[in-house]
């Protein structure tokens, strides 16, 4: 038993400080992404989420250039981009994709410039890799603290707006008639989503953070019909993918090519995808109970 | 006859409109008074639409619309596609600003936090992927505007269960709304709109895309709700026939204008011809009514199996 466990969990896994910080920060970020992501899927804002994630690269690369903690770059640019999207008209069904696309394009243009300067003028050679693909194992303790604070903030916003968000996902008109301030609700949610993907940009990278936003949510909605439970599942699936990913990345130090290790982001994102595929199996779909009733009624 | 019927129609001629409307509103509400008081015993207008005009992108979609819905009345808002039914309902709900006119909703003696109006919009896209059960959607009608996560109290559950049963949705309360049939979804949406106990229920084309049986069931359900709970129902539809047995009054919308009154008062060749601005024939067949575009631009000829349907009522 111990032997088996040692094969899976390499010796020193939990004794390793970067691993412990990664487990904490990565887990918290995955929880936030999963919870926020469920509403992203419900509201059909996956493209906006993806754009906010990608634009994080602009903030991250800019922060490396300025020599400040990339976390502030990610979060700062995310919040600004969300604000611009709202101003351009993300709340209009037809303006939504256009607003997102325009902001995304402009943001990535700046990212190209910043990453080029990072690579040519400053000594931050690893900037491109860590901005685009994350830096889970080099998160400092103090950064982890800030991550936890931002995570709590995003979770609080989504928790408070739970019902208004849900109702306006069904129909903005129904929500308005029921007294929901739809526009401010939408803007606050967009900001929470910006924070979620910014934090995920730090752990698994700016261009991969969408996977953690959308993947666990898309998986969870196959597992249950209860909204609250689906939100919880989404968060847990994100955490599971992140922790397993960290474990595999730690183990992969001994995989070929030896002594280099595989990137943790690869494992996390792949696990998210595998979970999603598993949830598409018909047996899992039956868990939501809907099909069973259809079969009973013969329709 | 044609001249007189002009009173039931909001005239296109603006100068004439003012004087004519005053007469229309007075006579129509006079005609409805008996029915309204007979039904409710309390009287009072649940809804007054007073001179509403709406301009969208420079085009006048609605022009000087007047009508009232009294407490407990079932009123059909009838008009073809593009007649402005949805726009009118959105104005009543405050979702659309009118360019002129006012809407009054009698919201007195209402419990706090409860909206005066329940609303079932047209084409609510309920995705089967959405992890949202019928009871969740009904619950959002109760407190969807509140902050925080809903606490599963016994009282809340009880209210939702009662509401689901009241609309005949008790059997599928735990199903995903997206997996329900069109008729079942309508029941759930009606429960969502009713659970906050509004005095006025607005429904936008709730019968569209329903099979004949569901259509009939939904109409009966709404008529029962209006009767038993003293809720006024204003329902839009492009087809009036399914509503004929239950409709207290009709608001007929065409060419951006409206005529209102009882079905017999409004759905007549001369009234509708005036409203459409062209000759239409109103034909009664086996208790159903067909409105057919006619030819020629001479004075409207009364058409119908029963001449009495076309007689000018006293109030004209």
- For residue B153, being part of any structural domain is answered with yes
Task: Note down the domain range covering B131.
Answer: 125-197
pLDDT value for A125? 64
Q: Sort out which chain B residues have CB atoms less than 8 A from A160's CB and list them.
A: 147-148
Name residues 50-109 of chain B within 8 A of A (Cβ): 90, 93, 95
For residue range B129-162, what is the model confidence (pLDDT) as tens digits? 899 999 999 999 999 999 999 888 999 999 999 9
For residue range B237-282, what is the model confidence (pLDDT) as tens digits? 999 999 999 999 999 999 889 999 998 888 888 888 888 888 888 9
- For residue B171, being part of any structural domain is answered with yes
**Percent of chain A clearing pLDDT 90 (strictly above):** 49
3-state SS record for A211-224 = HHHHHHHHHHCCCC
Strand extents, DSSP E, B30-99: 45-56, 59-70, 74-78
Least CA distance to B114: which residue of chain A? A178
In this prediction, residues B73-96 reach a mean pLDDT of: 90
pLDDT value for A8? 64
Least CA distance to B174: which residue of chain A? A225
In this prediction, residues B207-220 reach a mean pLDDT of: 90
pLDDT value for A286? 57
In this prediction, residues A226-234 reach a mean pLDDT of: 95
Of A42, A162, A230, the CB nearest to B148: A162
Confidence tier at B16 by pLDDT (50, 70, 90): very low
Average pLDDT, chain B: 78
End-to-end CA distance of chain A: 50
CB B201 within 8 Å of CB B225 = yes
For residue range A114-150, what is the model confidence (pLDDT) as tens digits? 888 888 876 666 778 888 888 888 888 889 999 999 9
Of B124, B128, B129, the CB nearest to A171: B124
Of A221, A230, A293, the CB nearest to B175: A293
Least CA distance to B192: which residue of chain A? A174
pLDDT value for B94? 86
Is the pLDDT at A215 greater than 50? The verdict is yes
Q: Cα–Cα distance between B163 and B256 in angstroms, integer?
A: 36
CB B155 within 8 Å of CB B187 = no
Q: Flag if B144 and A226 touch (Cβ within 8 Å).
A: no
Q: Cα–Cα distance between B249 and B260 in angstroms, integer?
A: 7
Is the pLDDT at B173 greater than 60? The verdict is yes
Give the Å distances, CA to CA, from A69 to A34, A239, B115: 24, 24, 49
Cβ neighbours of residue A38 closer than 8 Å, sequence gap 6 or more: A217, A220, A221, A230, A231, A234
Complex ipTM: 0.85
Longest CA pairwise span in chain A (Å): 69
Confidence tier at A242 by pLDDT (50, 70, 90): very high
- Phi/psi for B258 (5° steps) reads -130, 145
pLDDT value for A93? 65
DSSP labels, A181-192: -HHHHHHHHHHH
Tell me whether B274 touches chain A (CB under 8 Å): no
pLDDT value for A9? 67
Q: Flag if A225 and B131 touch (Cβ within 8 Å).
A: yes
Is the pLDDT at A249 greater than 50? The verdict is yes
CATH class of A23-290: mainly alpha
Least CA distance to B190: which residue of chain A? A174
Q: Flag if A290 and B175 touch (Cβ within 8 Å).
A: yes
Q: Sort out which chain A residues have CB atoms less than 8 A from B141's CB and list them.
A: 178
Name the burial class of residue B81, with classes exposed (0-12), middle (13-18) and buried (19+) by CB atoms within 10 angstroms of its CB.
Answer: exposed
- For residue B140, being part of any structural domain is answered with yes
Looking at A75-89, B62-76, B159-173, B301-315, which range is the least confident one?
Answer: B301-315
Q: Flag if A167 and B144 touch (Cβ within 8 Å).
A: yes
Return the domain boundaries, chain A. 23-290
pLDDT value for A85? 85
Residue with tokens 């600004």, as numbered in its chain: A80
Q: Cα–Cα distance between B261 and B267 in angstroms, integer?
A: 9
- For residue B45, being part of any structural domain is answered with no
What letter does residue B312 receive in the DSSP assignment?
Answer: P
- For residue B68, being part of any structural domain is answered with no
Q: Flag if B95 and A169 touch (Cβ within 8 Å).
A: no
Total structural domains within chain B: 1
For residue range A15-65, what is the model confidence (pLDDT) as tens digits? 788 889 999 999 999 999 999 999 999 998 899 999 999 998 899 889 888
- For residue B178, being part of any structural domain is answered with yes
Q: Sort out which chain A residues have CB atoms less than 8 A from B93's CB and list them.
A: 173, 176-177
């Amino acid at each position: 038993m111990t032997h088996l466990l040692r094969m899976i969990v390499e010796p020193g896994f939990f004794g390793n400080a970067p691993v412990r910080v990664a487990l904490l920060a990565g887990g918290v970020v995955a929880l936030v992404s999963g919870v926020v992501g469920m509403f992203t899927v419900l509201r059909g804002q996956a493209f906006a989420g993806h754009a906010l994630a990608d634009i994080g690269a602009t903030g991250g690369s800019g922060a490396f250039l300025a020599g400040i903690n990339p976390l502030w770059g990610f979060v700062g640019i995310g919040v600004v981009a969300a604000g611009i999207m709202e101003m351009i008209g993300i709340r209009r069904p037809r303006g939504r994709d256009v607003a997102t696309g325009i902001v995304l394009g402009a943001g990535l243009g700046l990212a190209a410039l910043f990453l080029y300067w990072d690579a040519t003028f400053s000594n931050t050679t690893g900037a491109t890799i860590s901005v685009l693909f994350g830096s889970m194992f080099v998160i400092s303790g103090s950064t982890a603290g800030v991550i936890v604070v931002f995570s709590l903030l995003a979770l609080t916003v989504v928790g408070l707006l739970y019902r208004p968000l849900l109702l306006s996902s069904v129909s903005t008109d129904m929500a308005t008639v029921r007294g929901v301030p739809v526009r401010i609700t939408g803007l606050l949610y967009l900001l929470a989503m910006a924070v979620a993907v910014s934090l995920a940009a730090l752990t698994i990278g700016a261009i991969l953070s969408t996977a953690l936003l959308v993947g666990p949510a898309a998986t969870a909605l196959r597992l249950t019909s209860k909204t609250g439970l689906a939100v919880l599942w989404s968060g847990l699936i994100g955490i599971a993918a992140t922790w397993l990913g960290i474990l595999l990345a730690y183990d992969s130090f001994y995989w070929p090519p030896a002594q280099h290790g595989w990137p943790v982001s690869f494992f996390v994102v792949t696990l998210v995808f595998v979970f999603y595929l598993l949830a598409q199996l018909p047996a899992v779909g039956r868990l939501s109970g809907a099909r069973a009733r259809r079969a009973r009624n013969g329709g | 006859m044609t001249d007189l019927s002009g009173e039931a129609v909001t005239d296109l001629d603006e100068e004439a409109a003012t004087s004519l409307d005053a007469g229309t509103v007075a006579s129509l509400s006079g005609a409805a008074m008996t029915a309204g008081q007979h039904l409710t015993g309390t009287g009072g207008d649940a809804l007054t639409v007073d001179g509403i005009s709406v301009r969208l992108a420079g085009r006048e979609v609605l022009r000087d619309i007047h009508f009232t819905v009294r407490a407990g009345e079932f009123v059909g808002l009838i008009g073809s596609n593009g007649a402005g039914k949805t726009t009118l309902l959105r104005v009543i709900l405050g979702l659309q600003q009118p360019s002129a006119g006012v809407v009054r909703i009698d919201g007195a003696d209402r419990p706090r936090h409860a909206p005066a109006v329940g609303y079932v919009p047209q084409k609510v896209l309920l995705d089967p992927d959405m992890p949202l059960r019928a009871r969740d959607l009904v619950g959002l009608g109760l407190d969807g505007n509140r902050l925080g996560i809903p606490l599963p109290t016994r009282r809340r559950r009880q209210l939702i269960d009662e509401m689901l049963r009241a609309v005949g949705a008790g059997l599928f309360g735990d199903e995903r709304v997206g997996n329900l049939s069109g008729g079942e979804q309508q029941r759930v949406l009606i429960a969502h709109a009713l659970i906050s106990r509004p005095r006025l229920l607005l429904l936008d084309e709730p019968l569209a895309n329903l099979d004949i049986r569901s259509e009939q069931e939904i109409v009966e359900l709404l008529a029962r709700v209006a009767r038993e709970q003293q809720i006024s129902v204003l329902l839009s539809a492009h087809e009036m026939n399914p509503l004929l047995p239950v409709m207290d009054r009709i608001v007929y919308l065409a060419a951006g204008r409206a005529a209102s009154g009882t079905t017999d008062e409004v759905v007549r060749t001369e009234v509708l011809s005036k409203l459409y601005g062209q000759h239409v024939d109103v034909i009664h067949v086996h208790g159903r009514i067909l409105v057919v575009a006619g030819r020629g631009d001479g004075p409207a000829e009364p058409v119908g199996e029963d001449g009495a349907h076309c007689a000018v009522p006293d109030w004209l």
